[in-house]
């Protein structure tokens, strides 16, 4: 396999830009959120999903699907949120194994208090830095990138058959 297609300058710029933006934005938001609201980004995302759901309750598994952590990671974070009284665990009525994460009143208040600052930070770090057309390109292009790496067989169709494989052409 002599022929590796290395990255040319433009490709390298895109890759490096992606990497740097990724880690800087992530770190920045993590800090902002922890300082202003005492939440990790993961915890904030959990609260958002719960707040968006009817009755503020979501099954653990469903929570894990939209989320970017492993099963055990979710267990841990929900545990932390439970300690602080922002979330309660309740057993699922339709499946004895199931566990529902339920948003408490205090959890909802905490989220309400944290949201404005977080949105402002997201704007300042990413959204408001992009031009209108860049915004759309980023949404479309990165959306495609994320979707292609989505694990198969969950949610609404991947729609893209061209999977990613480690076959060396």
Partner DNA sequence: AACAAGAGGTTCGAATTTGAACAACCAGGT
Partner DNA sequence: ACCTGGTTGTTCAAATTCGAACCTCTTGTT
In degrees and rounded to multiples of 5, residue 156 shows phi and psi of: -85, 130
Asked if 73 is part of the footprint of DNA (rule: CB under 7 A), the reply reads yes
Answer yes or no: are the C-beta atoms of 58 and 50 closer than 8 Å. Answer: yes
- Nearest-10 crossing angle of helices 41-52, 71-83: 80
Choose the binding region for a copy of itself from 50-58, 83-91, 94-102, 129-137 (rule: CB under 8 A): 129-137
Distance CA 131, CA 134 (A): 5
In terms of Cα–Cα distance, which of 100, 113, 18, 9 is closest to 62?
100
Q: How far apart are CA 56 and CA 53, in angstroms?
A: 5
3-state secondary structure of 57: strand
Q: Does 155 bind a copy of itself (CB under 8 A)?
A: no
- Out of DNA, a copy of itself, none, which partner does residue 113 contact, by CB within 5 to 8 A per kind? none
Residues in contact with DNA, counted by CB under 7 A, come to a total of 27
103 and 51 in contact (C-beta within 8 Å)?
Answer: yes
Instruction: Please report whether residue 110 would count as binding DNA according to CB under 7 A.
Output: no
The Cα 86–Cα 44 span in angstroms is 11
Shortest CB 3 distance to DNA, Å: 31
Q: Is 87 in the site for DNA (CB under 7 A)?
A: no
Which residue stretch of 70-78, 110-118, 122-130, 141-149 sits at the interface with DNA (rule: CB under 7 A)? Answer: 70-78
22 binding DNA? (CB under 7 A): no
Residue 25 CB, nearest distance to DNA (Å)? 13
- Contacts of a copy of itself in 4-33 (CB under 8 A): 4-7, 10-11, 13-28, 32
Instruction: Write out the residues near DNA by the rule CB under 7 A.
Output: 27, 31, 40, 42, 59-61, 64, 69-80, 89, 92, 95-99
């Amino acid at each position: 396999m002599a022929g590796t297609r290395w990255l040319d300058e433009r490709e390298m710029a895109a890759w490096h830009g992606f990497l740097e933006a990724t880690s800087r934005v992530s770190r920045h938001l993590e800090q902002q959120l922890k300082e202003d609201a005492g939440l990790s980004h993961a915890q904030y995302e959990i609260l958002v999903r719960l707040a968006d759901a009817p009755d503020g309750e979501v099954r653990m598994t469903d929570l894990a699907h939209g989320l970017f952590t492993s099963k055990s990671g979710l267990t841990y974070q929900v545990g932390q949120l439970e300690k602080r009284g922002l979330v309660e665990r309740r057993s699922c009525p339709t499946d004895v194994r199931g566990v529902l994460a339920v948003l408490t009143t205090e959890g909802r208040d905490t989220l309400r208090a944290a949201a404005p600052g977080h949105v402002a930070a997201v704007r300042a770090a990413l959204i408001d830095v992009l031009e209108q057309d860049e915004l759309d390109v980023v949404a479309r292009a990165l959306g495609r990138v994320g979707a292609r790496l989505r694990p198969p067989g969950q949610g609404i169709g991947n729609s893209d058959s061209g999977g990613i494989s480690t076959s060396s052409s």
